């Protein structure tokens, strides 16, 4: 996938699809473009068409799952992610996505932990993977284990604003205001537009 698409790319995809509605390359490009623009409903529709043509493409299944999860179609998203994982057990990004979805279920905590821990055995140097583990632990009130996972995440990738933010939440729960404020400042340094961190920092000035 190209990292940046232009209006010319969009026009090229649309022309290709006008000539051939089953042009898999154009469908993939246009779906990716819609996903990058956060047009997730349009992206999901494109990926469904593409999966009718290439049902065993793990990359398209993953992208479809991302679009569907953003549209709050969690059951359908899980099905696409699970099929992608069956086809490619080493696809750790799918494991992170499934872990987050499982964690949203009231009974999904153990499955979520198992999924992310398997992913971390496959990719122990994934900062995002350690963030997912920390997020899941944080969401269940496991503050000290969450702190360890989130510290590992930011040690690997200091630009992970989400990890700094959840570290701040953990420190607030632990009544460590000094470290909470430092984590909020690192959140804003990593992502200046991270609104939630501004709110938290203002509450604790």
pLDDT tens per residue across span 133-157: 999 999 999 999 999 999 999 999 9
In 3D space, the residue among 66, 88, 89, 90 whose CA is nearest the CA of residue 78 turns out to be 66
CA 192 to chain centre: 20
Instruction: Give the side-chain half-sphere CA count within 13 A for 92.
Output: 17
Summarize the confidence of residues 74-80 as an average pLDDT.
96
Structure tokens at 152: 């590992």
Its pTM stands at: 0.87
Of 7-16, 20-29, 50-59, 126-135, minimum mean pLDDT range: 7-16
In terms of C-beta density within 10 A (0-12 exposed, 13-18 middle, 19 or more buried), how is residue 10 classed? middle
């Amino acid at each position: 996938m190209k990292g940046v698409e232009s209006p010319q790319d969009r026009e090229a995809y649309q022309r290709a699809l006008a000539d051939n509605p089953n042009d898999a390359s154009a469908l993939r490009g246009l779906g990716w473009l819609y996903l990058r623009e956060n047009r997730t409903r349009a992206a999901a529709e494109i990926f469904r068409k593409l999966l009718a043509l290439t049902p065993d493409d793990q990359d398209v299944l993953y992208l479809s799952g991302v679009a569907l999860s953003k549209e709050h179609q969690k059951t359908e998203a899980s099905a696409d992610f699970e099929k992608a994982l069956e086809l490619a057990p080493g696809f750790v990004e799918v494991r992170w996505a499934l872990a987050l979805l499982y964690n949203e279920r009231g009974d999904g905590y153990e499955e979520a932990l198992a999924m992310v821990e398997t992913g971390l055995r496959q990719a122990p140097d994934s900062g995002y993977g350690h963030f997912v583990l920390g997020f899941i632990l944080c969401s269940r009130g496991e503050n000290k284990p969450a702190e360890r996972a989130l510290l590992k995440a930011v040690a690997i990738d200091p630009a992970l604003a989400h990890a700094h933010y959840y570290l701040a939440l953990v420190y607030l729960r632990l009544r460590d205001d000094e470290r909470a404020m430092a984590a909020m400042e690192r959140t804003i340094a990593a992502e200046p537009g991270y609104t939630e961190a501004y709110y938290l920092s203002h509450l604790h000035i």
